[in-house]
Amino acid sequence: MKKEWSEDELKEVARQLGNPDGANGVKTGERMNLSNANMINRGIESLHITTGETVLEIGPGNGSHVGSVVSIADDVAYHGIDISETMVLEASKLNADLVAKGRVTFALSDGNGLDFRDNFFDKIFTVNTVYFWQDPVGYTKEIFRVLKPGGVFSLVFSDKSFMEQLPFTRFGFQLYDKDLAEALLKQAGFSLNETIEEVETTQSNLGDFVDRPIIIMLAKK
């Protein structure tokens, strides 16, 4: 029998997706990594990371995919930032060897500013975090600031038409379609290189298998 979710349960799902914490947050991170695996891989692939590049991921969750990022090419430096202390701790633990070697760093972020100097990163990507940005324009301008001239930002998310059908997204989610996302990027100073639209089959955070439309927007500084 299909589970009936109460409003309080749906609010908790939304809260954990936005900022996983505690034991339930660890489990949420594991579920997100499974449900978002294809989106993460497509976001990474879209950047065409090459030798010696410095890469930022906003919201890596438990970071179980990070090894695949730094193995793409020689001397790739990876930085991951997250608003969830639980996720920063989990990602640091799962990638302890890479952290010890100085190839990977994870840091706690306030979700408003980026604690990096101007023109620091060659490539930046984020998957399914845009829904939770408190000041979308200000934060996108921060991403633009820390990206090198000519650098590429890959914004990966699921289309508003799909997301608004999920019962938990009415609690604290700001939803986007490609037009809204394009306007956001351009307002921050980016030029749009390419928009990729695909449909994937994945298991949702409520346990159902769904066909999910995904959008990958590649923006250039």
Domain boundaries, the chain: 7-220
Q: What is the mean pLDDT of residues 183-189?
A: 98
Task: Give the integer Cα–Cα distance in Å for 212 and 29.
Answer: 19
Pairing of β 121-127 and β 54-58 = parallel
Residue-averaged pLDDT of the chain: 91
Pick from 121, 112, 58, 49: nearest CA to 88: 58
The fraction of the chain above a pLDDT of 70, given in percent, is: 95
Is 70 exceeded by the pLDDT of residue 1? no
Task: Give the integer Cα–Cα distance in Å for 95 and 112.
Answer: 25
Q: What is the mean pLDDT of residues 184-212?
A: 87
| φ/ψ of residue 178, rounded to 5 | -65, -30
Model confidence, pTM? 0.92
Q: What is the mean pLDDT of residues 49-76?
A: 96
Pairing of β 209-220 and β 147-158 = antiparallel
Task: Give the integer Cα–Cα distance in Å for 3 and 153.
Answer: 38
Q: What is the mean pLDDT of residues 184-203?
A: 94
Is 70 exceeded by the pLDDT of residue 141? yes
- Long-range interactions of 190-197: CB distance < 8 A, separation 24+: 190/140, 190/144, 190/153, 190/219, 190/220, 190/221, 191/219, 191/220, 192/217, 192/218, 192/219, 192/220, 193/152, 193/218, 193/219, 193/220, 194/218, 196/42, 196/46, 197/159
Q: Let me know if 152 is exposed, middle or buried by CB neighbors in 10 A (0-12, 13-18, 19+).
A: buried
Is 90 exceeded by the pLDDT of residue 168? no
CATH of range 7-220; options 3.40.50.150, 3.10.129.10, 1.20.1090.10, 3.50.50.60: 3.40.50.150
More confident residue, 210 or 106: 106
Q: Mapping DSSP to helix (H, G, I), strand (E, B) and coil, where does residue 142 land?
A: helix
